[in-house]
Structure 1
Amino acid sequence: MSYTHSHSIKKFLIIGLGNPGYLYKRTRHNLGFMILDQISNKYFFSFSKKKLGLISEFIYDDKLLFFLKPSTYINHSGIAVKYWMIKEKIILKNILIISDDIYLNFGDFRLKGKGGSGGHNGLKNIEKEIGTSHYARLRFGINKSHFDKKSYVLENWKNEEIDFIFSRLDIGIKIIFSFVKNGLQKTMNMFNRTIK
């Protein structure tokens, strides 16, 4: 049953950032894809190949959620975000971008309603394409030590990191669904102080 054409239902666009293809599947930069994959495993839905990405529709709390994994590569994520925002007429405050963050401590989450790109090319491109930095973003910390930034984000997770990452992804999922149900401000108050 498709709810896409119902005008009364509230729509949300949840975008996980990453690079498409097997080569990048286990890289640190694909954290956004990993969280969306974890949600799809947990709630038993699958992604379909559509224009500019893999997308899935899911009803939660009487709201229609579009989960998007852009196929544009991270540096052009904004093209996919803009396309699906316009196509599904989704307002800016109902958009959430999920990305990795090399400046946040490893495993920490941070939810914000606006901000700079922090050197993240995906966020930079989204800001350019949609014309504002006032969009909600959920960042997951991958910072561990001194490293060469570019090669680090494109390296695969180490096996011992993977277990820890998966133990943290459930918190990320809780934050995403709270954003949909309770809104940005309330979710920030609930999670930003407690998630360390």
Structure 2
Amino acid sequence: MKKFLIVGLGNIGEKYENTRHNIGFKILDEVAATYDTSFETDKLGDVASYRYKGRTFMLLKPSTFMNLSGKAVKFWMQKEKIAIENTLVITDDLNIDFGTIRVKGKGSDGGHNGLKDIQEKLGTNKYPRFRFGVGSNYSKGRQVDYVLGEWNKEEESKFIERLPTAVKVVTSFGTAGLANTMNTFNGK
């Protein structure tokens, strides 16, 4: 049976719950709701799992805070014996327009500290990632305030509209593979 680790990046705590940087957590919450599973607190994060079409999907929301996400990712990959190519990391991305999806099999961290830590802990930049665009509507030098800022009403409404597509990306990754998922969803 094939096993997949789906990691949503974010920061724990009420203070961060509705921030742009927590998009990975929000998407995993929607995946869990869609497949009728719930998270339990475990080592280095909150985890949930479900089976779909003969595959097991493990969902992970690291509790290590964004900048130390690699420790949780590496731990759960090893514990569950999940290959790097079956691990998908979901994160926000300032470099693409709000709501735009970009799935890739490798790449730079793009200045994202969570991806940077994962790359360091895994020793490679060749791991699948799902970047959800949050846009760059901030003044110079205000990047941190922007990603740690809460959604405005228009963004929140658009994000809710995009959630079903985000769930389809995760499902496609596990059932149709990375290449098909990229062809189907990139730029959408």
Distance 1:65 1:72 in 2: 21
Match of 1:80, as an amino acid?
Answer: A
Instruction: Say if 2:115 is the partner of 1:131.
Output: no
Instruction: Say if 2:35 is the partner of 1:43.
Output: yes
Instruction: Say if 2:149 is the partner of 1:155.
Output: yes
Instruction: Say if 2:32 is the partner of 1:11.
Output: no
| Aligned-pair Cα RMSD in Å | 0.9
Which of 68, 72, 76 is the aligned partner of 1:84? Answer: 76
Aligned residues: 186
Match of 1:82, as an amino acid?
Answer: K
Match of 1:167, as an amino acid?
Answer: E
Give the C-alpha shift of residue 145 in structure 1: 2.4
TM-score (norm 2): 0.96
Unaligned residue ranges in structure 1 (runs of 5+): 1-8
Which of 177, 180, 188 is the aligned partner of 1:186? Answer: 180
- Offset from partner CA, 1:174-196 (integer Å, 9 cap, x none): 11110100110111112225x1x
SS in 2 for 1:105: coil
Distance 2:9 2:155 in 1: 19
Instruction: Say if 2:93 is the partner of 1:105.
Output: no
User: How high is the sequence identity, in percent, across the aligned residues?
Assistant: 48
Matches within 5 A, 1:57-68: 57-68=49-60
Give the C-alpha shift of residue 170 in structure 1: 1.1
TM-score (norm 1): 0.92
Give the C-alpha shift of residue 146 in structure 1: 3.6
Which of 159, 174, 185 is the aligned partner of 1:165? Answer: 159
